[in-house]
Amino acid sequence: MANVVKTMLAVGACKASRSALRIMHRGGTTTPGRLAMKIDSNILESVSRGMEIIVVTGTNGKTTTSNMIGHALSEAGRDVLANRSGANLLPGVTAEFTSSATATGRPRKHYAVIECDEGALKQVVPKIHPKVIVVTNLFRDQLDRYGEVMHTLEEIRKGIRLVPDAILCLNADDSLTASLALGVPNPVTWFGIDCPVGEQKNVEISDARYCIRCGTEYEYDYHTYAHLGGFRCPKCGYRRIRPAVAVTEIEKVSSSGSIIRMRFGTDGNADRAESADGAGAVAAASAETEQEVTIGLPAVYNIYNGAAAIAAYQAAGFDRSEVISSLADVHSSFGRMETFRLGEVPVQMILVKNPAGCNQALSYLSGLGEDYQAVFCLNDRTADGHDISWIWDADFEKVCGDPHMKHTFVLGDRADDMQLRLKYAGADEKDIEKADGNAELIEKLKQSSVPVFVLPNYTSMLSLRAALGAITGKQEFWKG
Ligand SMILES: [Zn+2]
């Protein structure tokens, strides 16, 4: 079969199956891509040819960082392809590109920002030849052992080796991510935070305590969060590289966002050359400049995401002032984050239905850096799945030891289980209150003097949302 015919058939099949799935309200993201790949194994190369592509990978912040970059490119009037549906494996990425192409398989858009699963990077990048690859950070997932984060690191490294021309944007503060610069010829640009963040005493490093090159325990000049910070190995000299895109001061962090000072300059890539197998830096910039930057999302890790977005944006050859100005109004990328006001009280609702999503929401809360009240709602109806034991796999310890979490309500069919879980996670019993229904909860929340965060599972979210809608008599406060 002639190539062009194969490509056309693949594009047609992908688009048709995607529409069919949508009509049936089946959000399937893999079938259309798999179908297209089966008809034409080179479909992804064809439909992405000539495009300028930024790929974002890493444990946390992929979606937010991609959204930040994509948002800035669109604001500046560029036509951007993105895989916002969370389809970040090869079939999903293939479906995104293929369904956006013309009938003959030519790309309709010139730019793409693609979030990619760490393990799928090696399959995706040789087909789409990204201009820039961002690695946000590497953390151990809840149930993984340390060996698995090392495995993930190697998977990413395999992907990078397949595209030696791609510019890497790496987190300078993460000793794991930073090691991706070793032994590859790719140009690298670094981002990071130059200053300590939060409590500096008794920081528990669970993910990367020991030097990735020689096994000696790292020393830190300062910590930002988890194993991130100013790390250095006292034995072999492996250490944080001074980044070109750096946060020098955190002026204000609140539930609506952060105001920071940033420095833009040249990477300290000399250190990389010292490490024997380093290579050239991205073309050196001129003198250093400093400026204030507002990031319209709360928490320290969104400061990292913002810095990553700026680094990627300028590495891809765009004017960084575009992304800086759009960061102020970038919206949350949580699938179902909804915000509204109950009288004077700001309330944010984040749907949680499994340990991974729940952990993301809990990290968000623990990174807020200001007082808040939390509400955990748990039902066990058919749409929720009757088994609620997953709450024991979610890391509620992250917030239960946090002095910023002021008062906690539990609600729902399984409120008692939730209460028990929080107690085991270290919450003080007197700080956990069981609310008797939505109406009582809403009355109590109105009295709050701090922002409120509600983490419901599916059916409890529906009922609470309905109760709130009835009270306020309007729907427009929901932000999808
Ligand atoms: Zn070392």
Ligand 1 geometric centre to CA of 232 (Å): 8
Q: Does one domain contain both 155 and 296?
A: yes
Domain boundary among 327, 348, 376: 327
Ligand 1 centroid to Cα of residue 239, in Å, is 8
Residue 292: the pLDDT is 96
Taking the centre of ligand 1 as the mean of its atom positions, its distance from the CA of residue 231, in whole angstroms, is 11
Are 372 and 323 contained in the same domain? Answer: no
Structural element, H or E, at residue 391: none
Spatial separation of the C-alpha atoms in residues 465 and 338, rounded to whole Å: 10
Q: 279, 294, 327 — which closes off a domain?
A: 327
Residue 230 Cα to ligand 1 midpoint, Å, equals: 14
Tell whether the model's pLDDT for residue 369 goes beyond 80.
Answer: no
Are residues 134 and 9 part of one domain? yes
CA 15 to ligand 1 center in whole angstroms: 51
Identify the three-state secondary structure at position 21: helix
Residue 278 pLDDT > 70:
no
Phi then psi for 236, rounded to 5 degrees? Answer: -100, -5
**pLDDT at 194 > cutoff 50:** yes
Cβ pair 153, 179 in contact under 8 A: yes
Average pLDDT over residues 208-223: 94
- Cα 9 to Cα 15: distance, rounded to the nearest angstrom: 10
Query: Based on the domain organization, do 265 and 368 belong to the same domain?
Result: no
Q: What is the pLDDT of residue 61?
A: 86
The answer to the question of residue 412 being in a domain is yes
Q: Which two tokens stand for residue 330?
A: 């970038």
Q: Is the pLDDT of residue 294 over 70?
A: yes
| Boundary residue ending a domain (298, 327, 356) | 327
User: 462 and 314 share a domain?
Assistant: no
Q: How far is the CA of 42 from the centre of ligand 1 (A)?
A: 43
Alpha helices (H) along 241-396: 270-274, 300-315, 320-327, 355-366
Distance 208 CA to ligand 1 centre (A): 12
- Chain-centre distance of CA 463, in angstroms? 28
Distance 155 CA to ligand 1 centre (A): 22
Q: What is the pLDDT of residue 327?
A: 93
**477 in a structural domain:** no
Ligand 1 centroid–CA 212 distance in Å is 7
Q: Tell how far the Cα of 149 is from the centroid of ligand 1, in angstroms.
A: 18
Nearest to 311 by CA among 60, 114, 136, 106: 136
Ligand 1 midpoint to CA 216 (Å): 5
* Percent of the chain topping pLDDT 70: 89
Please give the distance, rounded to the nearest whole angstrom, from the Cα atom of residue 134 to the centre of ligand 1. Answer: 25
Q: Clarify whether residues 203 and 343 are in a common domain.
A: no
Instruction: Say which residue the tokens 């088994």 belong to.
Output: 387
Cα of 229 from ligand 1 centre, angstroms: 16
Q: Is residue 332 part of a domain?
A: no
**Pair of tokens at residue 9:** 């058939």
pLDDT at 285: 46
> Ligand 1 centre and the CA of 304: distance in Å?
25
Q: What is the CATH number of the domain that holds 355?
A: 3.90.190.20
Q: Is residue 356 part of a domain?
A: yes
Residue 453 to residues 43, 184, 380, 439, 440, Cα–Cα distance (Å): 44, 44, 21, 17, 16
Query: Is residue 480 in some structural domain?
Result: no
Same domain, 292 and 146: yes
pLDDT band at 332 (very low <50, low <70, confident <90, very high): low
DSSP state letters, 265-281: ----THHHHHTSS--PB
Share of the chain above pLDDT 90, in %: 57
Q: Looking at the domain assignment, is residue 39 inside a domain?
A: yes
The residue among 155, 156, 84 whose CA lies nearest residue 113 is 84
Looking at every residue in the chain, the average pLDDT score rounds to: 86
* Same domain, yes or no: 163 and 53: yes
Spacing, Cα 389 to ligand 1 middle (Å) = 41
Cα–ligand 1 centroid distance for 217 (angstroms) = 8
CATH number at residue 250: 3.40.1190.10
CA of 175 to the centre of ligand 1 (A): 11
* Residue 301 pLDDT exceeds 80: yes
Q: Is the pLDDT of residue 291 over 70?
A: yes
Residues near 41 by beta carbon (within 8 Å), at least 6 away in sequence: none
The pLDDT, as a whole number, for residue 390 is 85
Per-residue pLDDT band for 266 (boundaries 50, 70, 90) equals: confident
Under the banding of pLDDT at 50, 70 and 90, the label for residue 347 is confident
pLDDT of residue 283: 44
Question: Cα of 233 to ligand 1 centre, how many Å?
Answer: 5
Gap from CA of 172 to ligand 1 centroid (Å): 16
Confidence of residue 395 (pLDDT cuts 50, 70, 90): confident
**What pLDDT, on a 0 to 100 scale, did the predictor assign at position 300?**
82
107 and 223 in one domain?
yes
Range of lowest pLDDT (178-187, 194-203, 433-442): 194-203
Domain for residue 276, yes or no?
yes
Provide the domain limits for residue 444: 338-472
Instruction: Mark whether 231 and 296 lie in a shared domain.
Output: yes
What separation in Å is there between the alpha carbon of 459 and the centre of ligand 1? 50
Q: Is residue 333 in a domain?
A: no
Does the structure show a pLDDT above 50 at 463?
Answer: yes
List pLDDT tens digits, range 141-167: 644 555 688 899 999 999 999 999 999
User: Among 147, 132, 136, 217, which residue's Cα sits nearest to residue 172?
Assistant: 136
Range 282-287 contact pairs with CB under 8 angstroms and sequence separation of 24 or more: 282/167, 282/187, 282/188, 282/189, 282/244, 282/315, 285/244
Q: Are residues 261 and 280 in the same domain?
A: yes
pTM of the predicted model as reported, rounded to 2 decimal places: 0.73
Q: Are residues 367 and 287 in the same domain?
A: no
Give the pLDDT band of residue 26 (cuts 50, 70, 90).
low
Domain count, the chain: 2
